């Protein structure tokens, strides 16, 4: 790029390297060409200056940047001034970059030290937090165990008191039942004694009346027993009938569920077959479409 002929070379469109660089949005190359004396006022075949035609791939911001640079260069219109200013800025830029790199290095070292200190601090805080959590959890667990033990103890005491009361009630019931049994035994003994025969002091008529009453009571007891037996038989029959009805209903429901499941499986098989058939048909349609397109292309080529 140090030869003037290379900078001023043109192609069939009368484009110089500056035209090409601006067209493709290569800002650094534009600066280099301007630094080496490229002509910003050179016209191509369409009477366009460099920077008036851009590729559609060049961003708008890049276009404006290059256009402003070329306008500034045209405004100054002094190549030596521009080259001098550009070189001075370049040197200042390099010096500034070196100083910035030095400061960045120092800053990075300080950042690394600060990060190391921060990591150590975070590690210490994490350990402290972990120990605090463990202590808190241990204390909470101890309190929960103590509260649970107290609650269990109170519940056991309550259960023991309730069992004691129930035992007392059972003892009273047992005593009452024993008393009732003794009374019944006394009454049974009296009835047996009365039914065994008339007392010596009873007259024949009184004995006959007592025997008649006993027979009547025995008949009533027999009737009551037969009634109770009949009622028990009826209840058993009703229970058996209800159970049979429930079994029958369960069998009906089970058979219906089985039929529905069988129908569901059949529908699933039909759906799978339909999906397979649809996929096959779609594939066939795609093949036919591609064949039709190929035939259309062949016809177009033949005609």
- What ranges do the domains of the chain cover? 1-76, 116-192+222-302
270-284 burial by CB neighbour count: b if 16+ within 10 A, else e? Answer: eeeeeeeeeeeeeee
156 C-beta neighbours (distance < 10 Å), count:
10
- DSSP assignments along 177-195, one per residue: HHHHHHHHHHHHHHHHHHH
- Between the two ends of the chain, the Cα-to-Cα distance in Å is 55
Torsion sign, CA atoms 56, 61, 67, 73: negative
Other C-beta atoms lying within 10 Å of the C-beta of residue 171 = 10
pLDDT band at 180; cut points 50, 70, 90: low
Looking at every residue in the chain, the average pLDDT score rounds to 74
The answer to whether residue 276 scores a pLDDT higher than 70 is yes
Query: How far is Cα 155 from Cα 255, in angstroms, rounded to an integer?
Result: 50
The verdict on domain 1-76 having CATH code 1.25.40.20 is: yes
**How would residue 106 be classed by pLDDT, with cut points 50, 70 and 90?**
confident
Q: Are 221 and 233 in contact (CB under 8 A)?
A: no
3-state secondary structure of 74: helix
pLDDT band at 1 (very low <50, low <70, confident <90, very high): very low
Six token digits for residue 6: 């290379």
Which residue has better confidence, 20 or 3? Answer: 20
Between residues 81 and 177, the one the model is more confident about = 81
* Cα–Cα dist 169/163, whole Å: 10
Contact by Cβ (8 Å): 58, 96: no
């Amino acid at each position: 790029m140090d030869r003037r002929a290379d900078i001023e070379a043109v192609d069939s469109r009368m484009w110089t390297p500056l035209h090409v660089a601006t067209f493709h949005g290569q800002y650094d190359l534009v600066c280099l060409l301007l630094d080496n004396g490229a002509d910003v006022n050179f016209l191509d075949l369409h009477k366009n200056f460099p920077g008036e035609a851009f590729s559609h791939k060049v961003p708008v911001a890049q276009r404006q940047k290059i256009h402003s640079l070329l306008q500034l260069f045209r405004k100054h219109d002094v190549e030596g001034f521009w080259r001098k200013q550009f070189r001075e800025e370049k040197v200042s830029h390099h010096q500034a970059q070196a100083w910035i790199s030095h400061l960045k290095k120092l800053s990075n070292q300080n950042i690394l030290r600060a990060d190391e200190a921060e990591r150590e601090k975070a590690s210490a805080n994490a350990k402290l937090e972990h120990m605090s959590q463990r202590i808190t959890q241990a204390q909470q667990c101890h309190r929960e165990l103590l509260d649970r033990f107290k609650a269990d103890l109170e519940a056991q005491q309550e259960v023991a008191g309730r069992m004691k009361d129930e035992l007392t009630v059972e003892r009273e019931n047992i005593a009452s039942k024993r008393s009732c049994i003794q009374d019944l035994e006394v009454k049974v003994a009296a009835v047996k004694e009365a039914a065994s025969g008339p007392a010596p002091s009873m007259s024949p008529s009184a004995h006959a009346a007592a025997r008649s009453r006993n027979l009547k009571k025995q008949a009533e007891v027999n009737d009551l027993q037969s009634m109770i037996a009949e009622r028990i038989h009826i209840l058993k029959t009703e229970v058996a009938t209800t159970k049979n009805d429930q079994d029958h209903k369960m069998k009906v429901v089970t058979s219906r569920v089985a039929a529905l499941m069988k129908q569901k499986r059949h529908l699933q098989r039909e759906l799978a077959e339909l999906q397979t058939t649809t996929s096959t048909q779609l594939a066939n349609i795609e093949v036919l479409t591609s064949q039709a397109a190929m035939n259309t292309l062949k016809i177009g080529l033949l005609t």
